[in-house]
Amino acid sequence: MKIWQKNIEVNKDIESFTVGRDRELDLQMAAFDVLGSLAHVEMLESIGLLTAEELSAIQEELKNIYAEIQAGDFRIEDTVEDVHSQVEWLLTQRIGEAGKKIHSGRSRNDQVLVDLKLFFRDQIEEMVHNSASLFQQLIALSNTHQDKLMPGYTHLQIAMPSSFGLWFGAYAESLVDDMEVMLAAWKICNKNPLGSAAGYGSSFPLNRTMTTRLLGFENLNYNVVYAQMGRGKTERILAQAMSSVAATLAKMAMDVCLFINQNFGFIKFPDELTTGSSIMPHKKNPDVFELIRSRCNKIQALPNEIAMMTVNLPSGYHRDLQLLKENLFPSITSLNECLEMTAYMFQHIDIKEDILTDKKYAYLFSVEVVNDLALKGVPFREAYKIVGETIENGTFEPGLKVNHTHEGSIGNLCNPEIEQMMEHILDQFNFEKTKSAIAQLLA
């Protein structure tokens, strides 16, 4: 059953090609389709397009369908095109003619738009939760290991002293900026497109402000043409936020792969969290972090993939947009898995003590010696020259103490300030408002 079909039977090959993976991917949106319908029918009753009795019957059965979805008992039949058709078909089968009225003032275009926005809100909340959990873990590791020194590198050459406190804290603060980008995506997703119909509005006196409130959206996509234009743009902005998180994870995974290498030997993990070789019995490979690196590099390509699929589309709906789900939905799952697996691995990280006592790291302290001379009154450029000459003639003798006290340095990590920044961002998502609205809609 297709809610758009009239008296012509569509060619089976055409149907298969155009439906694609929609039935499979739409299952992830099923609960949100029901939520959108619950808000829509309450609004329809308020403007006289449904009776109170019809509304009550529709609401009761929609909530039953929602419960079936939550229990895993919902499926999209092979004879049905998509989730919107399946929900409407089930409703009509169970309550009769009233079920045929729920599409009044809607198009599948704005149905899928609101489903996607609700789905993205839900997925953003999960990504933010996982990012915040990893952030807190990184801050805790930074505090625990703040006094353990390690080499810092530029050009992959030994450069200056660093610390594990700095290293963990750097990625924690990186997640702060990532959440700033995610917050922007959240704000875009938290606008209601319902009532834009096919992208040109409706002659019904729809109350779009009402559905905005019922679904817990912060605001409307007011212009109905722009509401439809927002499809593709919303996905790209969300992908950019995901890409930002993925870039942090990919860089951190690359660091881990280097640091676990025997030539570095800074960290290790329990044997059961590494993998082996089919012919080399000594191997303990960091496959988890290699896969995190690769998965996250794929996610960093996602905004460009979406842009290439939408860049030459004029205003209005186009079937091209259907394919965005095939790129975006699996990437959301993958990013959450990477966040969770990174956190799990870091629960078991083992950090080597006294790394910098190895003589090969002596030159790390050259800047410390230059600065000591400068503090004693030697002009910095002259001090630089003096230390450079001792390095060249082999008489350089470093001190092994580091005295960095300015904000964000080895001795003053400013982790409380970084935590405050993250807390300020997280508070702005205000997930409780959306959850409260949905709970009330289902009550």
CATH code of the domain in which 188 resides: 1.20.200.10
Q: Is residue 390 part of a domain?
A: no
The pLDDT, as a whole number, for residue 276 is 65
Does the residue 156 lie in any domain?
yes
Would 380 be classed as within a structural domain?
no
What is the C-alpha separation between 342 and 345, in angstroms, rounded?
Answer: 5
Q: Are residues 183 and 298 in the same domain?
A: yes
Q: What is the pLDDT of residue 4?
A: 44
Q: Which among 181, 137, 130 has a CA at the least distance from the CA of 415?
A: 137
For 105-122, b where at least 16 C-beta lie within 10 A, e where not — what string? bbbbbbbbbbbbbbbbbb
Supply the pLDDT for residue 20: 61
Comparing C-alpha atoms, which of 294, 293, 286 is closest to residue 266?
Answer: 286
Residue 367 is predicted with a pLDDT of 85
Please state the domain count of the chain: 2
Is residue 281, in this structure, part of any structural domain at all?
yes
How high is the pLDDT of residue 415?
A: 96
Q: Is residue 387 part of a domain?
A: no
Same domain, 144 and 180: yes
Decide which of 101, 134, 165 is a domain's last residue: 101
| Predicted local distance difference test score (pLDDT) of residue 403 | 83
| 3-class state of residue 36 by DSSP | helix
Per-residue pLDDT at 188: 97
For residues 345 and 356, what is the distance between their CA atoms, to the nearest angstrom?
25
Please give the structure tokens belonging to residue 357: 């006592």
The answer on 182 and 49 residing in a single domain is no
Tell me, yes or no, whether 129 and 252 share the same domain.
Answer: yes
Same domain, 97 and 112: no
Give me the pLDDT at residue 1, please: 47
Whole-number Cα distances in Å, 24 to 21, 47, 112, 323: 5, 35, 15, 12
Q: How far is Cα 174 from Cα 181, in angstroms, rounded to an integer?
A: 11
Which of 55, 84, 101 finishes a domain? Answer: 101
The verdict on residue 374 lying in a domain is: no
**Do residue 136 and residue 283 come from a single domain?**
yes
Q: Is residue 3 part of a domain?
A: no
Question: How many Cβ atoms sit within 10 Å of the Cβ of residue 134?
Answer: 23
Confidence at residue 99, expressed as pLDDT on a 0 to 100 scale: 92
Is position 391 within any domain?
no
| One domain for residues 20 and 119 | no
Pairwise CA distance, residues 142 & 437, whole Å? 38
* Residue 304 C-beta-side C-alpha neighbours within 13 Å: 5
> What is residue 147's three-state secondary structure?
coil
State whether 323 and 308 are in the same domain: yes
Domain range for 71 is: 12-101
Last residue of a domain, one of 84, 101, 118: 101
Residues forming beta bridges with residue 162, ordered by sequence position: 150
Pick out the chain residues at pLDDT < 70.
1-23, 276-278, 281
Among candidate residues 434, 442, 439, the one with its CA nearest the CA of residue 212 = 434
Task: Give the whole-angstrom CA distance, residue 438 versus residue 440.
Answer: 5
Residue 247: name the closest of 299, 286, 180, 289 by CA: 299
